[in-house]
Amino acid sequence: MERVLHSGILPDDSGRARSEKAALTAYALIMVGAALLWGFAYWALGRPVSATIPAGYSFFSALSLLYFFRTKRYGVFRFTQLLFLLCLPCFVQWSLGGFAHSGVVLIWAILCPLGSLMLGGAVGKSSVFWLGAYLVLIAVSAYLDSLLSGLIPPFPHLITVLFFALNIAAVSSVVFVLLRYYLSENQDIMGVIDEKNRMLDERAQSLVEEKERTERALTEAERLRREAEMQRKAAEEARATVEEQSRQLLELDRIKTRFFSNMSHEFRTPLTLIIGPLEHLLSQAHQKLDAEQSRQFEVMLRNSRRLLRLINQLLDISKIEAGKMELRARETNVVEFLRAITLSFVPYAERKGISVEFCSNWEELPLFLDAEKMEKILYNLLSNALKFTPEKGRVSVSLGSCDGQSSNDVEVAVKDTGRGIPPNQIPHLFDRFFQVDGSATREQEGTGIGLSLVKDLVEVHHGSIRVESEYPGGTEFIIRLPRGREHLSESEIVEALEQESYGSQPLLEMASVEGRLSPAPPSQESREEAARKPGMECVLVVDDNSDVRQYVRVCLQDTLWVEEATNGLEGVDRARELKPDLVVSDVMMPKLDGHELCRILKGDTQFAQMPIILLTARASEEMKVAGLKIGADDYLSKPFSSGELKARVENLLKIRRHELRLRQFNDTLAKLNQKLQDQSALLKKQAITDGWTGLFNRRHLEARLAEELAEAKRTGAPLTVMMADADFFKKINDQFSHQAGDQVLQAIAQILMKNVCHSDIAARYGGEEFVVVLPGVTLETGVTFSEKIRKLVESSNWSSIHPDLKVTISLGVSSNTDVPHHDQLLALADEKLYQSKREGRNRVSY
């Protein structure tokens, strides 16, 4: 690539421009002159064709030089001159008659390199190149000439050759001089041009590299963009796939939940009809079954209960996995709760030779917990402890605070003296379906879901559980539960619906492990006698399943009269007809379900107090709460044991009998209570009033006077006390009888009561003396009031008592402005009273 000399690089002053123009003009004139001279010479020699050769050389040399000056492209000029110098000898030889005139070739070969060297001298190192090129040309020309005419060629046209040679030399010399002059004048500029060309080359190279980098970056960015787009599409497809899978999983979860809910009903109903009849048969074993049959039935019953327990655990796990295990916590005395659960395991533990203990730091501790779920927790922990504890071992349940903790939590610990748990097994102990000994030869049976369920149920209570074990040496499970209710949401707290008993469920569960624990059944004679007993309590059984009705009848008919109804609607009609003492009803029935039956009967005043037990195969907490809310008194989940049914029926009937007696007692107590209230009111009145006059007594007077005086002192209000005494009262008693004296006192009391205000205090002070306290009344007003009372007594008609009877009174008045204390106030009034008596009676002193 040739360097480009931009016009902006060269100096643009007027002197240099004139120099360049003069050089160009001189060269052009020389070239034109040389062309004319050459042309004339060849024309004169009779070779007009050859005249075009020097003329063309001169003409194209002038054009190339002009191009050089205009564009500053030195390479183009050099190439043009080289072309002419190489090609012109061939044309000369051809015009002179070929290679036979080799002398011309020799002279041309000498002169042409001379001109080329002069041209090449302007550019320095390139002279070596041109010299070498023309030496090769000389050698080639000499070789060709020797082949044709020998080594010493003839010179027939010596004058032409000499003229030609001199002409060429002159032209080349002129070109050399002009170029030397021009380049010497512009040497500095050429250096700058070269430096600028180098910088431009570097800049061009850097731009090319930058362009390549930019293209690579753009290519990389485009590649990354395409990859990002592909990844985005892949992510969207993956998200769509995940969403679809999530939707399918949710649908499967809903299907699974519905399946377990339906299977709960399908499992529990047949289990009820297995466990119930088995229990009944075993209760009759001593009369109807031999030992082998009794043993087989016990095995059947034990395994049926075990199956029920496994079903319940699987259903609980299903609820937990579906996120539907809800906490329904009630405030419970956890000490009583734990003690009852622990004691329910004592009979089974004693038969194994294991001691069971319970200890607590409190006598009573309220704690919010779900009793049903907490019973399952303790059952699993205690049954495991008893299962792995050897004979003469010990199992303890303790309740205490969290030592070393600032929190208010409590800890429930279940500890045994069994063989312990290997350390490498402890981290997996609460994993679902994990068993410490999972081999086929393990000593204890199990499913591996009990402790996992325990952990889940503890976490539902917002608590935690950990295990400490020494292997071998025993194991301790520690449950930490928060106190208070701040950690619970409103939906997790429910009010107590009834007084629940604790420990019944673990006792029944342990019966499935140990065997049957029931009292001996009544004899046949006692059952027949009970069936004929008049006034026997009636139980109505409502269920659309005839087997269930028959089973309940068999369970209850020994001591109760049992009637049946096949659906809810018939049950309502039969209840209104029979007026039973208790109703046992299924929940899911045709025509009318158990909830609606309960609502109708409880809404009828004649059945409002009648107990109702609901039976259902759906053992959810929500179903139980729904039944209890509409008025059901108890709730049994299928399958249920005959013993539990009998116990609940008997308890409710006993409560009903107690309620009937209690209502009678309440009626009696209500009457007695009214009498007591009347007597109490009378006693209260007698405690503060005088029995003969009806005025306040002296004790109440002094208490009220102290209160009024303190209030007057606080507010600065006046207070006046008037004390009155019947004149010659002893004479009235002696002359007219004591009865007449009593009537006089009553009459004076009536005068006082008619004339005092509601805020005034009128009292009998003792004997024939009366006191009136006048709050907010000044001494002057009190004197006026006293004078009024005196006149009223004096002017009263006493003839109704005795025709000759005349009654007057003497009065003394004092005020709180005179003395500060109530005793002093009374004493001052008494003093003024006796002053009136000394001054002649029937007057007011103050």
**Distance (Å, rounded) from C-alpha 177 to C-alpha 173?**
6
Q: Which two tokens stand for residue 394?
A: 């010990």
Give Cβ neighbours of residue 187 (< 8 Å, ≥ 6 apart). Answer: none
Per-residue confidence (pLDDT) for residue 154, from 0 to 100:
45
Distance, in Å, from the CA atom of 372 to the CA atom of 502, rounded to the nearest integer, reads: 9
Lowest-confidence pick of 173-182, 468-477, 614-623: 173-182
Q: What average pLDDT does the segment 85-113 reach?
A: 51
Give the Cα separation of 806 and 798 in Å (integer): 6
Distance, CA of 70 to chain centre: 87
Distance CA 148, CA 202 (A): 54
Q: What angle do CA 666, 671, 675 make, to 5 degrees?
A: 140
Listing DSSP states for 770-787 in one string gives EEEEEET--HHHHHHHHH
Tokens, residue 761:
């205090």
Phi, psi of 132 (to 5 degrees): -60, -40
**Three-state DSSP class for residue 819:** coil
Residues 666 and 689: their CA atoms lie apart, in Å, by: 33
Tell me, yes or no, if the pTM score tops 0.75.
Answer: no
Tens of pLDDT, residues 133-166: 555 655 555 555 555 444 444 444 444 555 555 5
Residues 6+ apart with CB under 8 A from 420: 469, 470, 471, 472, 473, 474, 475
- What is the mean predicted confidence (pLDDT) over 413-420? 90
Top-confidence range, 41-55, 241-255, 324-338: 324-338
Strand partners, 610: none
Number of residues in the chain: 846
Please confirm, yes or no, whether 621 is among the known catalytic residues. no
User: From CA 551, how far away is CA 548, in angstroms rounded?
Assistant: 5
Around Cβ 422, how many Cβ atoms within 10 Å? 12
CA dist., res. 510 & res. 516, Å (int): 9
Per-residue pLDDT at 584 exceeds 90: yes
Q: Pick from 763, 757, 749: which is nearest to 809 by CA?
A: 749
pLDDT band at 465 (very low <50, low <70, confident <90, very high): very high
Average pLDDT over residues 406-432: 84
Mean pLDDT of the chain: 75
β-pairing verdict for 809-815 and 844-845: parallel
Task: Dump strand ranges (E) for 290-347.
Answer: 330-333
- 20-34, 279-293, 485-499, 653-667 — which is least confidently predicted? 20-34
Strand, helix or coil for residue 614: strand
Q: From the CA atom positions of the chain, what is the Rg in Å?
A: 67
Opening angle at CA 785, ends 779 and 788, nearest 5: 145
What pLDDT does 536 receive?
Answer: 84
pLDDT value at 839 more than 80: yes
Of all residues in the chain, the percent with pLDDT exceeding 70 is: 66
What is the distance between the alpha carbons of residues 116 and 421, in angstroms, rounded to a whole number? 110
State the residue for tokens 């297995």. Answer: 274
> Which residue has better confidence, 90 or 763?
763
Cβ pair 645, 555 in contact under 8 A? yes
| More confident position, 392 or 168 | 392
Which pLDDT value is given to residue 354? 92
554 touches 336 (CB < 8 A): no
Mean pLDDT of 50-69: 62
C-alpha–C-alpha distance, residues 383 and 616, integer Å: 27
Residues 332-359 have a mean pLDDT of: 90
- Which pair of tokens denotes residue 293? 């049959």
- Of the two residues 422 and 31, the one the predictor is more confident about is 422
Q: What's residue 394's pLDDT?
A: 92
What's CA 596's distance to the chain center, in Å?
Answer: 38
| Calpha distance 329→326 (Å, rounded) | 9
Domains of the chain in sequence order = 14-185 (no CATH), 326-436+446-514 (3.30.565.10), 531-664 (3.40.50.2300), 698-845 (3.30.70.270)
Annotated catalytic residue: which of 411, 509, 570, 768? Answer: 768
Amino acid 110: pLDDT: 47
Nearest to 708 by CA among 781, 775, 779, 782: 775
pLDDT grade for 396, boundaries at 50, 70 and 90: very high
Q: Is residue 819 classed exposed, middle or buried when 0-12, 13-18 and 19+ CB atoms within 10 A define those classes?
A: middle
pLDDT of 616 strictly over 90: no
pLDDT tens track for 645-661: 888 999 888 888 888 88
**Quick one: average pLDDT of 396-414?**
82
